[in-house]
Structures are given as structure tokens and as C-alpha cells.
Amino acid sequence: MSIIPVRVVPDPVLRQKSKRVRSIDNSIHRLIDDMLETMHSAGGVGLAAPQVGTLLRVIVIGIPGEEDFALINPEVVKGTGERLVEEGCLSIPGYVGQVKRSEQVKVKGLSPNGKVRQIKAEELLAQALEHEIDHLNGVLYIDYLENMDKLRKIEVDESQPM
């Protein structure tokens, strides 16, 4: 496993659309291992492959107190409700902003073993899933801010960036 430098704005790779994974081979498993290690070393609760420079539809999630997992080709099947949350991103270090996220999401994807996995999530997990899946489409949370004044500068360890 190795830690990969996290791409930060305005790196153009963050704005590209990632491709679907066609076969889950060793290179995908290695990518997932590296992403998990990178996420932990950066103190994040989630990470998407484009953030480590790989334009493939792979995300990892590590909510404190819960088991880490990876999801391949994830999709939000349904989002319900709306809530205002403060959000940070490992690719936008030193800032947080308030955005609207779903209260509950239903997400579908593949586990690293190739099995279909459906997840019903709320709270931080729902937020992280929406955030990471946005990354696969070149979308960053700052895109949802009315204006850049809504960004707040923070000390680095004040948030749980994604």
C-alpha cells in the first residue's frame, strides 16, 4: 500500500468525469488499498479516485467508528429530504462551506469482490456518499455555494474532509 498525494483545486483532473470500471482486477484492488491508506493519512472520511489522479469510478468511505468500505461504479439511486450541512474536501484544504444534502440516500454499486451492494444511508454516511459520487462526475461541493463568501477558512483539523 502507498500514500498518494491528493490532488487539490484547481487541478483539472478534479473536473473530469471518471470512467466506469469494466473489470475488477488487481489494479483496482491496489487502487482501493492505496486510497484507503491515503484517506486515513489525510484524516478524511471519504475519498474518490480522481482525487488521487485516477479517473475511474471508485470511492472509499471511512466513517469514524464504522468499518471502511470501497464501492465501485456507485450511483445514487434515490435521495430524499434536504438538510444543510457543513462540508469540507481533501481537495480544498483549509475551508468548509454550507451545502444542502439529502437526509437519506439509497446508493448502489459493486463491492471489491464484484457483488452488487445496496446501501441505505443517512447523516454523515449519506453526505459522504453524495460527496464522493459527485467527485466521479467532476463536481465539487463549492459548486453548490451561492457565492465564495459562503466558504469559511478553518484550521486543518477542525473538520472531517471528504
C-alpha angle 60/137/142, rounded to 5°?
Answer: 90
Task: Confirm or reject binding of residue 162 to Co ion (CB under 5 A).
Answer: yes
Q: Closest approach of Cβ 23 to Co ion, in Å?
A: 26
Nearest to Co ion of 114, 143 (CB atom): 143
Q: Would you call 132 a catalytic residue per the annotation? A: yes
Compute the least distance from the CB of residue 91 to Co ion, in Å: 5
Q: Is there binding between residue 58 and Co ion (CB under 5 A)?
A: no
Separation CA 106–CA 95 (nearest Å): 28
89 near Co ion (CB under 5 A)? yes
Q: Does 59 bind Co ion (CB under 5 A)?
A: no
Q: How many residues does the chain have?
A: 162
- Measured over the CA atoms of residue 13, residue 77, residue 47 and residue 151, the dihedral's sign is positive
Residues 6+ positions from 127 with CB-CB distance below 8 Å: 85, 87, 101, 162
Site residues for Co ion, 105-124, by CB under 5 A, read none
Kindly list the catalytic residues.
132
Q: Please give the residue ranges that form the binding site for Co ion (CB under 5 A).
A: 89, 162
